[in-house]
Amino acid sequence: MFGSAILDLAIGLVFTFLAVSLAASAITEMVASATKWRAVTLRKGIQDLLNDPKLVGLGQQIYQHALINPRADGTALSAKSWSKLPAYIDPQSFGHAMTEVLGIADAAMTPAAINTKIAAVADPQLRNLLQGIADRTAGNVGKMSDEVAHWFDTAMDRVSGVYKRGAQLFSFLIALALAAMLN
């Protein structure tokens, strides 16, 4: 085509590698979409974040909040409704939902009232974290919501890393299988 066998070979290899990588990426994305891989990874991340492994306590209440899952009807989550879970949650929305679920979203609440609500949180690690946030923000609900959002965002960076590593491994295995089939 260009008069040079080496150049033609190089161009052919580049396009072959490009086609295989695009096919592997497309297959990975189709599998991730069909299996709700992102939503499942996010759910597991929130279960770990809130120390709610069965998602029956605070985690369930947050998932039923309209800011987190506008399709939820407020009833208990069932196995069928897991397919409707969001694949992404905005950190600010999580912060607002968390303060509302805990009952500390009212800006007129006193620090003592906020501490009372936080003391009712069942998980001691989460309770200590929220107490620390309340102490740092001097009971300012807006700042508390922002701190919770920052905490959530930091934790979700780690969850994104878990998803990314899994997707990269899956893409590599798909690409390896495609290369073996095309060979």
**Residues 62-119 pLDDT 10s:** 988 888 887 766 555 554 566 678 889 999 999 999 999 999 888 788 888 999 999 9
Burial of 50 (0-12, 13-18, 19+ CB in 10 A): buried
Its pTM stands at 0.83
Task: Using pLDDT thresholds of 50, 70 and 90, give the confidence band for residue 15.
Answer: very high
What pLDDT score was predicted for residue 83?
62
CB contact burial 65-87 (16+ within 10 A = b; e otherwise): bebbbeebeeeebeeebeeebbe
Three-class DSSP category at 97: helix
Residue 8: other Cβ atoms inside 10 A: 12
Q: Where are the domains of the chain?
A: 5-182
